[in-house]
Structure 1
Amino acid sequence: MKSPALFRLLPAAVSALVLLSACATGGPNSASARPVLYPNATLNRVGDAQGKAEANACMSRASAAGLSPTQSGNEVGRRAGEGAAVGGVASAVGALITGRGGEGVLRAGVGGAAVGGSAGAVSGAFHNDKPNSTYRSFVQRCLSEKGFEVIGWN
């Protein structure tokens, strides 16, 4: 017995999802980004390894001060709500246009809200990793007081 086409495509779909999520969790706009130090006199004197150690120490100080590298917010919930609203309304309007009345419109609206809410929650999960600018400012000031210059985050 042959497996359905969906099951044959499943490994490729999972691989694509993993690759996309890996891309979404890195880079300068990610909460996991680290400070990039300019090779000024201080960094040249102490070396890259010590510069990284000082950056780690400043990031630890920021965390100890109650700051988080990730901006707190409920992106998952917000996007789920938006998706449910858009999906529900679009499905209900579509049911009205195609001539389904009463209960058909209600069923289409509820189904659309469920699909839209699920899609919105997944979208929110991918956009929930935003950097905290206060955390970054703290780390940059800490490094500056030690003589280092932060030129960006990567």
Structure 2
Amino acid sequence: MKKQRYSVITFLSVLFVINSCATKRPILSPNDHLTKIGVEAADKDIDDCIQLAKTNIGKYSTEKKIAEQTAMGAAVGAASGAAVGAIGGNVGWGAASGAAGGAAGGLIYGLFKARDPDPLLKQYIEKCLHEKGYDVIGWK
């Protein structure tokens, strides 16, 4: 049992690290300004705009978003598990196992969904880059 718990914790930790390193960034159109200053300077400008957005709007709360998804998954899982448990004659066991499964599903979903930047932060970054002469054509 202990070994299995460590395996799950290790797996989730690896997922979190991979996901946190893969935050989406703006993709710039190759306009005259980008061609003139180069990719390295543009990357620095992107980093500067991201930092300004975090400072002026507030740090994007990845942890809060993941916690909300996990809680929602647990609630849906508990309700579903209770319904299945009622049919099988063990509501408590069904609710508990459903909550555990739902929480795990919500956590995994939240980890992958957390890559998406907050819409307000995204808008701020795009405006900042536009004011510097760039055209944002998407996020990747």
Q: TM-score, normalised by structure 2?
A: 0.76
Among 60, 76, 92, the alignment partner of 1:68 is: 60
Partners of 1:150 and 1:69 lie apart in 2 by 23
| Alignment pair present for 1:111 and 2:77 | no
Corresponding position of 2:41: 50
Corresponding position of 1:135: 121
Q: CA deviation at 1:80?
A: 0.5
Return the index of the structure with the highest Cα Rg.
1
Partners of 1:138 and 1:53 lie apart in 2 by 16
User: Aligned pair in 2 of structure 1 residues 41, 33: CA closer, same or farther (>3 Å)?
Assistant: same
Report 1:2-151 matches (<5 A): 21=15, 25=19, 32-65=23-56, 66-68=58-60, 70=62, 72-73=64-65, 74-93=68-87, 95=88, 105=89, 108-128=90-110, 129=114, 130-151=116-137
Q: CA deviation at 1:131?
A: 3.0
Report the secondary structure of 1:152's partner residue: strand
Over aligned residue pairs, what C-alpha RMSD do you find? Answer: 2.7
Partners of 1:71 and 1:121 lie apart in 2 by 15
Partners of 1:139 and 1:85 lie apart in 2 by 40
Q: Unpaired runs of 5+ in structure 1?
A: 1-6, 96-104
Count of matched residue pairs: 124
Q: Unpaired runs of 5+ in structure 2?
A: none
Q: Which has the higher helix share?
A: 2
Partners of 1:64 and 1:43 lie apart in 2 by 25
Partners of 2:61 and 2:130 lie apart in 1 by 18
Percent identity, please.
28
1:33-62, Cα deviation, whole Å (9 max, x unpaired): 011111101110110000000000000000
Q: TM-score, normalised by structure 1?
A: 0.70
Partners of 2:19 and 2:122 lie apart in 1 by 17
